Structure 1
Amino acid sequence: MAVTLSEAAATHVANFLQKRGKGVGLRLGVKTSGCSGMAYKLEFADAVQDEDLTFESHGVTVLVDPKSLVYLDGTELDFVKEGLNEGFKFNNPNVKDACGCGESFNV
């Protein structure tokens, strides 16, 4: 079981953490939301919680709570630039369907 970052995502996160001046890594999770049932949560973590599962990817720590790992196992978080837009993209092999707006998914 693992959650990884692409090299581009790891570089983006590491640069942001350095500019921010604090933080131990990136916390990924899921929450109930949207028309397809679940949405991703993404935030910078200042501390590791007791229940957190930690993964190291290209020198960046990824933190995931055990309940979210069921839905995120095998996911790679990428950082992509398309024209003038840039952002994180979740490559999640567990997704069976996603809503048209791209905000939510189900497994």
Structure 2
Amino acid sequence: MSITVTERAAKRINTILAKEPEGAMLRISVNGGGCSGFQYAFDISPDRNADDTAIEKDGITVLVDEISLQYLDGATVDFIDDLMGQSFRIENPQATSSCGCGTSFSI
């Protein structure tokens, strides 16, 4: 199973984590809910759990738990900064549809 973190996303994650305690990592998870059935969650985590997969890029670490990983396999995490605002975007090849804001999806 694989997840790709773009250079733009890694740069933004690095900026965010620079304000956190040493060793902090970004955790991406998939939870039930949202307007399309599942939703992405982004949290700062000080610890890595035994079932976490760690994606390392340009000095940052992104954690994904074992359950969420099955919903994110093949996904790309990017950071968008445009006229509509700034946000992390996940391009998920498993998603059959998503809401307008891009934070929830269905499979």
State TM-score, norm by structure 2.
0.88
Per-residue CA distance 1:54-104 (angstroms, 9 max, x = gap): 122233211111111110011111111112611111111111011345342
Distance between the aligned counterparts of 1:92 and 1:58, measured in 2? 22
Count of residues in correspondence between the two structures: 107
Q: Percent identity?
A: 38
Quote the residue 1:75 is aligned against: 75
SS at match of 2:18: helix
Maintained 8 Å contact 1:54/1:64: yes
- CA deviation digits over 1:42-64, x for unaligned, max 9? 11111111111112223321111
| Structure 1: segments with no counterpart, 5+ residues | none
Question: What SS does structure 1 have at the residue aligned with 2:9?
Answer: helix
Extract unaligned runs of 5+ from structure 2.
none
Equivalent residue, structure 2, for 1:16: 16
The 8 Å contact of residues 4 and 57 in structure 1, kept in 2 or not, is answered as no
Superposition TM-score, scaled by structure 1 size: 0.88
